[in-house]
């Protein structure tokens, strides 16, 4: 990573369960559990507002200063959302070393537009907003920038310019974004005229033979 790993102060949770977790959230704290590296799991809580702000900006790795336990470098492995799916209520974190290689989903930051997006009838379809990559923990980016103007009508994962040392786990032929051209519709006037002619022919008076 080219930016400094943020530090969060974590407090150990002595009481567990949904009732106590709810009390923590009401007080501005976010429940979390730290796993990994052969050590026992630790239940903690972190300041909700600061944590969510970092997550919103694509942060994946944190230094957690845990009371009585020292500092742990942790990777966000899972987020648990509330009933409506619009708020984070719990974090799963795993201990990592900065040089350890991990697989992780990274957001794609799209800029500009595809060359064919300005054609008549063009519809831009966003297929994937993020891809899975493998890289060292210290090199996990907040997002991967994609300049659409360098491409014609589509981009797949294999065409992305990834940072040095990063490899894509998502299959290379997976579309990220593409343009499809809507089929041209027959002019309404012409359709109405044809219907009118058919109606006139059908209403023509019969003559005695």
Q: What is the share, in percent, of the chain residues with pLDDT greater than 90?
A: 48
Distance CA 136, CA 140 (A): 7
pLDDT at 40 (0 to 100): 86
Summarize pLDDT for 88-115 with one digit per residue, the tens: 888 999 999 989 999 999 999 999 999 9
pLDDT tens digits, 21-30: 888 888 888 9
Dihedrals phi, psi of 181, to nearest 5 degrees: -100, 125
Name the pTM for this structure: 0.73
């Amino acid at each position: 990573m080219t930016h400094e790993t943020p530090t969060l102060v974590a407090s150990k949770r002595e009481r567990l369960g949904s009732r106590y977790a709810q009390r923590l959230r009401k007080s501005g704290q976010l429940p979390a559990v730290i796993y990994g590296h052969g050590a026992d799991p630790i239940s903690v809580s972190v300041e909700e507002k600061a944590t969510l702000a970092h997550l919103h900006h694509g942060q994946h790795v944190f230094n957690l200063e845990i009371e009585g336990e020292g500092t742990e470098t942790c990777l966000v492995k899972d987020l648990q959302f509330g009933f409506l799916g619009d708020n984070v209520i719990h974090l799963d974190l795993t201990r990592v070393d900065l040089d350890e290689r991990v697989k992780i989903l990274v957001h794609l930051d799209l800029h500009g537009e595809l060359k064919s997006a300005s054609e008549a009838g063009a519809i831009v379809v966003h297929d994937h907003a993020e891809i899975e990559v493998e890289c060292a923990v210290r090199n996990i980016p907040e997002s991967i920038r994609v300049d659409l103007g360098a491409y014609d009508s589509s981009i797949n994962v294999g065409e992305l310019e990834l940072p040095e040392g990063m490899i894509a786990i998502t299959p290379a032929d997976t579309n990220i974004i593409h343009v499809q051209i809507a089929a041209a519709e027959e002019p309404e006037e012409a359709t109405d005229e044809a219907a009118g002619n058919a109606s006139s022919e059908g209403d023509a008076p019969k003559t005695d033979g």
